[in-house]
Amino acid sequence: MSEETTDPASPLFLPEPARRRIVDLAASTLPAMGPAEVPPPLRKFIKFNQPKRVKLGSTAIIRELEVNPEFREKAGGVVSGSGDELVRRFVDGDPPVLTEPALAAALSYLLQPDGWRDTAAAAVAALEAENRAKPEPPAPAPVPDGQVERLEKENTRLRDALADQRKAAADLHQQVRTLHQAVTDLTGETEKLRSDVAAEKGRMKQVGKERKAERRRHEAELASVRTELAELKQHEREDKRLGSTRMWLLLETLSGTAAGIRRELGLDPAETRPGDYVAAEKGAEPETIAARARGLDSHDPAHLDELLDLPQPHLIVDGYNVTLTAWKDSLTLEQQRERLVRGLGLLAGQKNAEITVVFDGSDPVFGAAPSARGVRVLFSAKGRIADDVVVDLARAEPEGRPVVVVSNDQEVQERSRREGARIIPSMTLVKRISRY
């Protein structure tokens, strides 16, 4: 071979065994590369297995190695990174002497270590020596004329048989295509039926969900109506009890008021006669009438006693307003509550009055709630304040019953006055219960 035909820099000019080895090695590196690293003409071969990749892509691989040095470098990098001992020795420039020539030429071309051209040239020379050492195949023996004619007839017969087989195969292919088309049509109809069944199942499922949702909605509405009915019945019972209580308290108040008026207007048995009046008026100067006492001030504890002496009074106390006015800096909230409730209990023992004290429920309550005989102790419910409870208590009382509200809060005083309550300052109550 000439120097041009054995140039190791081009795989096209290497011997066929070396080219086959190069194609086999380069094809095995394609799956290890990233999709973007594989040249576009070779990407369609990545999904094939190694034998099919070599068989179908050999020409394209040789062409890319010839015109694309970057692809050769990437393929060589994948081979050198395989960790094989033979590859490592070729990379180090120390190839084994007994390496197969075709493999030595392929590795030298792909890896191209220092001195690779010499290694490749030596491998090519070894391949050429092997080819020269192979014996020439013997020439075919001459065939007699009669045997040639017989062979031609046999060849004609075989061609006719092959044509018949091809025709039969074509008929079979046509039948297969017909059957395949029928299967395809049946598959399409089956898929359509499956799709219709799935759609019907989905529709029925949706209808079931809607019915369940409608049922839950009706059940929720029924439960709501039942709850509203129960609340209305409860409110009716509470209103009836409250009306009865208010009526009873009003009658008791009127009865007590009438008794008080009878006592105040009742006349003692007369000790003088009409003539005595005339004699006293005409016969001497009339006695000096004592000056009438002024009305008691609202800050006077005696005024509170007068109000509590009225028939069926109701004393409503704004708890923390009173305790923080009197003992803000000296007692804890718990001690303030205890002292106020204890004093109100002693006051309840002296007066025939209903007494209610209201504390804010939002404040923390430590220990047991205070209690005293004759005193109703309330804590405002969550979301409400004691001021609103005090006004609600005053509003609930019947018109005409004496209601006394104790608070320094201007808003509580104004709202309670609008409900007909009498207002007493907090310190007035503190002075009154401080007597005990």
Q: Where are the domains of the chain?
A: 11-132, 161-259, 301-433
Q: Is the pLDDT of residue 156 over 50?
A: yes
364 is written with which tokens? 């923390």
Whether 101 and 126 have beta carbons less than 8 Å apart is answered as yes
92 is written with which tokens? 């180090």
Confidence (pLDDT) at 326: 93
Confidence (pLDDT) at 58: 86
Q: Give pLDDT tens digits for 270-327.
A: 444 343 333 343 333 323 223 333 456 778 888 999 999 999 999 999 999 999 999 9
Contacting residues for 307 by C-beta, under 8 A, at least 6 apart: 313, 402, 404, 422, 424
Residue given tokens 């509580």 in the structure block: 412
422-424 sheet: strands from edge to edge: 375-379, 354-359, 314-318, 403-406, 422-424
Choice among 106-110, 137-141, 335-339, 367-371 with the minimum mean pLDDT? 137-141
Q: Give pLDDT tens digits for 223-260.
A: 989 988 988 888 888 878 887 788 888 877 777 777 67
- How many beta carbons lie within 10 A of that of residue 388, not counting itself? 15
Choice among 32-41, 48-57, 204-213, 278-287 with the minimum mean pLDDT? 278-287
Percent of the chain with pLDDT over 90: 28
Find the Cα–Cα–Cα–Cα dihedral 168, 173, 174, 177, rounded to 10°: 160
- How many beta carbons lie within 10 A of that of residue 413, not counting itself? 18
Whether 28 and 50 have beta carbons less than 8 Å apart is answered as yes
Angle, nearest 10°, between helix axes 16-29 and 69-80?
A: 80
Whether 22 and 65 have beta carbons less than 8 Å apart is answered as yes
Confidence (pLDDT) at 353: 92
Residue 209 identity (one-letter amino acid): K
Residue given tokens 């209201």 in the structure block: 358
289 is written with which tokens? 């009438």
Q: Is the pLDDT of residue 362 over 90?
A: no
- Dist CA 324 CA 265 (whole Å): 43
Confidence (pLDDT) at 373: 92
DSSP-derived secondary structure letter, 145: H
DSSP-derived secondary structure letter, 372: B
Identify the CA nearest to 377 among candidates 408, 338, 429.
Answer: 338
Confidence (pLDDT) at 363: 61
Identify the CA nearest to 63 among candidates 46, 42, 48, 78.
Answer: 42
Cα 196 off chain centre by: 36
Mean pLDDT comparison of 26-35, 67-76, 149-158, 408-417, highest-scoring range = 408-417
Q: Is the pLDDT of residue 116 over 60?
A: yes
Mean pLDDT of the chain: 82
Residue given tokens 């070599």 in the structure block: 54
Q: Is the pLDDT of residue 153 over 50?
A: yes
Confidence (pLDDT) at 379: 92
Confidence (pLDDT) at 324: 95
Whole-structure pTM value: 0.39
DSSP-derived secondary structure letter, 296: P
Domain 301-433, architecture per CATH: 3-Layer(aba) Sandwich (3.40)
Confidence (pLDDT) at 323: 95
Confidence (pLDDT) at 269: 43
- The SS3 assignment for 288 reads coil
Higher-confidence position of 268 and 357: 357
